[in-house]
Amino acid sequence: MIIQKIEESKFTPEVFNIKVFGKAFTDHMLLCHYKDGKWNVPVIKPYGKLEFTPAVSVAHYGQGIFEGMKAYKGPDGEAYLFRPEENFERFNKSAVRMDMPQIPEEIFMDGIRTLVDIDRQWIPDKYGMSLYIRPVMFGTEEAISAKSSDEFLFSIVMAVAPNYYNKPLSLKIADKFSRAANGGTGFAKAAGNYGASFYPARVAREEGYDQVIWTDDATHTLIEEAGTMNVIIRIGDKLLTAPVSERILNGVTRKSILQLAEDAGIEVEVRPITVKEVYEAHKSGELKEVIGVGTAVVVNNYAAVGYGEEKLSLPELPAEDCFGSILKKKLVDLQMGISEDPYGWRQLVEHPIEA
């Protein structure tokens, strides 16, 4: 790995007061080019612009994938990652589906560890804040024929992560648009999955909602994801979530929250969830929580769900009775090293790293 450090850091502690997610980038980024069937030596250099012509393949055909993960500052002042191997594995699954090369583990993992080590002062030491890490890969060949790119760029950038949302959100259950279909790219973190969700989200906003609850594309009768997150529904005292599938992302936060819930004695059922049962549970007063779970947002309890013309409000539960709040605290406490980690999910970023 080649490391070219910035001459003077841009860091100031005020950066931790930022309210917007993913805008305050750290001093360095990692770049690694793929050409002639092999990966070049990765380079860490000052964060900055890249140069491409408008013929760059990704701009035309959207061959791009990414991951979302975070670094946390522990009470010992050290930097920690959370289950990074899960992101590494998923990145390469996404690469297969998008006909992109596999990224070697040492480039992905050593790249993240070295970058986090070098920019560790950018990890906030405030509870609930962290440093968001965004590995990304896209086709960089200068070519307009519709085919897989012959050249790719793998990059890692990092930005300070405050709360993603600052208000309770409401979601419209999709009855027309779809995020994913069988045989498609729903399980992958393909850039186009997100790009294609922005228009349905805009339509939902025009109808008075903030985001969309994605349903299955064939019948719009099954609840699958929420916005850019997995979704967990509380009916009575049971948590329900759909099984991961070709259409549903295998979220790291989803699987961590389910594990924490089970270990806290909360009943969890992983099975297809129908829109009808959610609607009926609301009518009978049993629909307690609709919870979005994802790396960027962590855990978000929604305020209301739109079903057709009806807006179903969710009860405002006290924190001690709200599974979303209870599980969020358990997860964030573990991620930040405030509580024990019996699962081995936290990984110390050694300091200093030999390059």
* Residues within the interface to ligand COI (CB under 6 A): 68, 194, 228, 294-296
Half-sphere exposure of 231 (CA within 13 A, CB side): 25
> Min. distance of Cβ 68 from ligand COI in angstroms?
2
- Tokens 């709200």 correspond to 322
Residue 90 vs 172, nearer CB to ligand COI: 90
> Min. distance of Cβ 228 from ligand COI in angstroms?
4
- Nearest residue to ligand COI on Cβ basis: 68
Residue 130 vs 347, nearer CB to ligand COI: 130
Residue 229 vs 322, nearer CB to ligand COI: 229
Residue 169 vs 281, nearer CB to ligand COI: 169
> Min. distance of Cβ 194 from ligand COI in angstroms?
5
Residue 195 vs 308, nearer CB to ligand COI: 195
Token pair for residue 53? 């012509």
> Min. distance of Cβ 278 from ligand COI in angstroms?
23
Residue 68 vs 306, nearer CB to ligand COI: 68
The C-alpha atoms of residue 286 and residue 308 are separated, in whole angstroms, by 20
> Min. distance of Cβ 69 from ligand COI in angstroms?
7
Dihedral angle over CA of 176, 181, 184, 187, nearest 10: 100
Residue 287 vs 296, nearer CB to ligand COI: 296
> Min. distance of Cβ 132 from ligand COI in angstroms?
7
Residue 178 vs 295, nearer CB to ligand COI: 295
> Min. distance of Cβ 311 from ligand COI in angstroms?
25
> Min. distance of Cβ 162 from ligand COI in angstroms?
13
